[in-house]
């Protein structure tokens, strides 16, 4: 089955064509980083307007790379949430229009489920192995930090999540505090590799393995206090690199420790790390090292599959289409995810199970 995927949940307008076995035939992304950089973050109204300008050219470019053209498509998948409502509506309406015009089935995809299944994408000639089900997944991005047990594309159990800031959000806020600009996560990662992670002692947030929840707000505040304590002129390039290294080490250690604790708790020796923060080199390296020591196979998608993209939406949608599902023109968007314990209005959004690990 060949599926057109459309993603517009935040600040990336994306379209992709993917085969149901994970092969990516086309993947086009129009970024809005330069548009939002002057504001230090995503401006919802500007994002929605940019999606309206980009959606048709992006979909056209993706379909131009499809052998056999539009006639080869078997269905359309589109992100229905979570995300910015104005941005989501652009993608969903475009998906509805295309599906109606071509007489194709249309399915909505939870953006988080797309991330959780992105490890199965096959790009180009890459032969990276993908994990068998079940696997434990750590989803870390600018808006989400949570652990899941993924038993199939249709049976996903939440084990724990952040109580406040997401990991990616904390990275961006620390970067803004240090004057590193937007997006901050990649810049903190780059500077952390040059710094001394032991120079600035910082707390490890919710480091106990007795529960699988996270909290990054306190660590972000601790960094702010450290910066405020510095004398004028002390915050030079070397100092900034050391702060980044100290901050990143603590975030990475907690993420890895709790992920491996989830693997041990559920008896699942496979860990997937996905989402935008999965592109962090420090996290990738530490997870592989700790996983090998614990006897856990660690799978991290390539960078293109970690950040927001439409290929993961097309693949996740293909799994629904293979079951004969079709949401049709009644498909609605939702701003918050049922995977995080909030019930969506769409019947499709309610298919995914959600639960919390009881505290020990």
Q: Is residue 319 part of a domain?
A: yes
**Would residue 357 count as lying in a domain?**
no
In this structure, the answer to whether residues 286 and 204 fall within a common structural domain is yes
Cα 134 from Cα 140, distance rounded (Å): 19
For residues 150 and 284, state if they share a domain: yes
Q: Report whether pLDDT(218) > 70.
A: yes
User: Domain for residue 68, yes or no?
Assistant: yes
Number of independent structural domains in the chain: 2
128 pLDDT higher than 90: no
Same domain flag for 164 and 296? yes
Q: Which residues make beta-bridge pairs with 152?
A: 155
Same domain, 184 and 150: yes
For residue 18, give the H/E element and its range: strand 12-19
Asked whether residue 351 is assigned to any structural domain, the reply reads: no
pLDDT over threshold 80, residue 148: yes
Q: Return the H-helix or E-strand segment holding 249.
A: helix 237-266
Confidence of residue 358 (pLDDT cuts 50, 70, 90): very low
Percent of the chain with pLDDT over 70: 92
Q: What are phi and psi of 332, to 5 degrees?
A: -120, 160
Q: What is the pLDDT of residues 84-116, one digit of tens each?
A: 999 999 999 999 999 999 999 999 999 999 999
pLDDT at 346 over 50: no
Q: Write the pLDDT tens digit of every residue in 23-51.
A: 999 999 998 888 888 887 788 889 899 99
Cβ atoms within 10 Å, residue 270: 20
| Same structural domain, 295 and 210 | yes
Same domain, 291 and 311: no
Supply the range of the domain harboring residue 31: 2-125+306-337
Contacts of 37 (CB under 8 A, 6+ apart): 181, 182
In a domain, 349, yes or no: no
Complete DSSP assignment for 42-110: --HHHHHHHHHHHHHHHHHHHHHTSTTGGGG--EEEEEEESS-HHHHHHHHHHHHHHHHHHT--EEEEE
Q: Are 197 and 283 in a shared domain?
A: yes
Please, which residues have CB within 8 angstroms of residue 129's CB and are 6 or more apart in sequence? 299
Is 247 domain-assigned?
yes
Residues 201 and 279 in one domain: yes
> Are 232 and 195 within one domain?
yes
Q: What is the mean pLDDT of the chain?
A: 89
**Claim to verify: residue 35 and residue 99 sit in the same structural domain:** yes
- pLDDT at residue 209 in the model: 66
Residue pair 309/12 in contact (Cβ under 8 Å)? The answer is yes
Residues 103 and 185 in one domain: no
Name residue 79's beta-bridge partners. 109
pLDDT at residue 56 greater than cutoff 90: yes
The pTM score is: 0.89
Q: Can you give the pLDDT at residue 340?
A: 42
Closest among 14, 32, 35, 16 to 24, alpha carbons compared: 16
DSSP character string of 274-331: ESGGGG-HHHHHHHHHHHHHHT-EEE---HHHHSS-HHHHHHHHHHHHHTT---GGG-
Tell me the pLDDT band of 350, cut-offs 50, 70 and 90. very low
Flag whether 356 is in a domain: no
**Do 163 and 238 lie in a common domain?**
yes
CATH number at residue 188: 3.30.420.40
* 339 pLDDT tier (thresholds 50, 70, 90): low
Distance between CA atoms of 168 and 143, rounded to whole angstroms?
7
CA atoms within 13 A on the CB side of 310: 34
Domain assignment of residue 130, yes or no? no
């Amino acid at each position: 089955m060949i599926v057109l995927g459309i993603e517009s949940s935040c600040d990336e307008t994306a379209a992709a064509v993917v085969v149901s076995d994970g092969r990516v035939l086309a993947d086009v992304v129009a970024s809005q980083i330069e548009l939002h950089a002057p504001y230090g973050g995503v401006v919802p109204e500007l994002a929605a307007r940019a999606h309206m300008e980009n959606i048709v050219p992006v979909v056209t470019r993706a379909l131009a790379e499809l052998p056999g053209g539009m006639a080869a498509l078997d269905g359309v998948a589109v992100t229905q949430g979570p995300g910015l409502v104005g941005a989501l509506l652009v993608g969903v309406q475009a998906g509805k229009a295309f599906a109606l015009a071509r007489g194709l089935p249309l399915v909505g995809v939870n953006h988080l489920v797309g991330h959780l299944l992105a490890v199965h994408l096959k790009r180009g000639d890459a032969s990276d192995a993908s994990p068998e089900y079940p696997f434990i997944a750590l989803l870390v991005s600018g808006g989400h930090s949570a652990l899941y047990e993924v038993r199939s594309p249709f049976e996903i159990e939440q084990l724990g999540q952040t109580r406040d800031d997401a990991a990616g959000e904390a990275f961006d806020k620390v970067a803004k505090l240090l004057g590193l600009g937007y997006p901050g996560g990649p810049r903190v990662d780059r500077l952390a590799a040059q710094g001394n992670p032991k120079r600035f002692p910082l707390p490890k947030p919710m480091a106990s393995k007795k529960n699988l929840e996270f909290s990054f707000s306190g660590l972000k505040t601790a960094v702010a206090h450290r910066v405020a304590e510095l004398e004028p002129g002390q915050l030079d390039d070397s100092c900034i690199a050391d702060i980044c290294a100290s901050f990143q080490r603590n975030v990475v250690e907690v993420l890895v420790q709790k992920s491996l604790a989830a693997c041990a708790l559920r008896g699942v020796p496979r860990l997937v790390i996905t989402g935008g923060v999965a592109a962090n080199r420090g996290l990738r390296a530490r997870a592989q090292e700790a996983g090998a020591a614990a006897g856990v196979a660690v799978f991290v998608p390539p960078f293109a599959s970690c950040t927001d993209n439409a290929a993961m939406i097309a693949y996740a949608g293909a799994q629904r289409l293979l079951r004969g599902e079709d949401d049709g023109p009644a498909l609605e968007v939702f701003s918050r995810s049922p995977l995080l314990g909030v019930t969506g209005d769409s019947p499709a959004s309610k298919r995914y199970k959600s639960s919390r690990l009881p505290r020990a």
